[in-house]
Structure 1
Amino acid sequence: MQGFNVDKNKTLNAALYVLNRLGEIDYHKIFKILYFADQEHLKDFGRPITGDCYQAMNFGPVPSFLYDIFKAAEKGIHPFYEAVEMSAAFSIRRSGNIPYVTAKTEADQDELSDSDLEILNKSIESNRELNFEELVKKSHDAAWTSAAERMDIEMPYLEIAEAAGTSQDMMRYITLNAENDQNMH
Structure 2
Amino acid sequence: MASQGVPVDLHAALKTAYFADKTHLNEHLQPIFGATYKAMKFGPVPLEIYEIIKGESLRLWELGRTQLPWTLDGYNIRLLANEPVNVDALSISEIDHLERAFSRSCKMSFTERTAATHGHDWQAANGGTMRYEHMLDERDDMNDAVAFIQETARHIRL
Normalised by the size of structure 2, how large is the TM-score? Answer: 0.83
Q: Distance in 1 between matches of 2:58 and 2:106?
A: 32
How many residues end up aligned between the 2 structures? 152
Q: Secondary structure at the match of 2:101?
A: helix
- Contact 1:23 1:102 survives alignment (8 Å): no
| 1:79 positional shift | 4.6
Tell me the CA shift for residue 85 of structure 1.
3.0
Contact 2:54 2:71 in 1 (8 A): no
Higher helix proportion: 1
SS of residue in 2 equivalent to 1:143: helix
**Alignment RMSD:** 2.4
CA deviations on 1:107-143 (whole Å, 9 max, x unpaired) are: 2111111110111122123222100000000001111
Q: Using a 3 Å threshold, how does the CA distance of structure 1 residues 46 and 24 change in structure 2: closer, same or farther?
A: same
The question of whether the paired residues in 2 share the 8 Å contact of 1:127 and 1:135 is answered with: yes
Q: Which runs of 4+ in 1 moved over 6 A?
A: none
Q: For 2:112, give the aligned amino acid.
A: E
Question: Which amino acid counterpart does residue 131 of structure 1 have in structure 2?
Answer: S
1:102 aligned partner: 78
Partner amino acid for 1:71?
A: K
For the pair 1:82 / 2:30, whether they are aligned, the reply is: no
Q: Could you say what secondary structure the match of 2:54 adopts? A: helix
Q: 1:23 to 1:116 in 2, by over 3 A?
A: same
Partner residue, 2:21 = 38
The percent of aligned pairs where both chains have the same amino acid is 26
Q: Is 1:136 the equivalent of 2:114?
A: yes
Q: Which runs of 5+ in 2 are unaligned?
A: none
SS at match of 1:111: coil
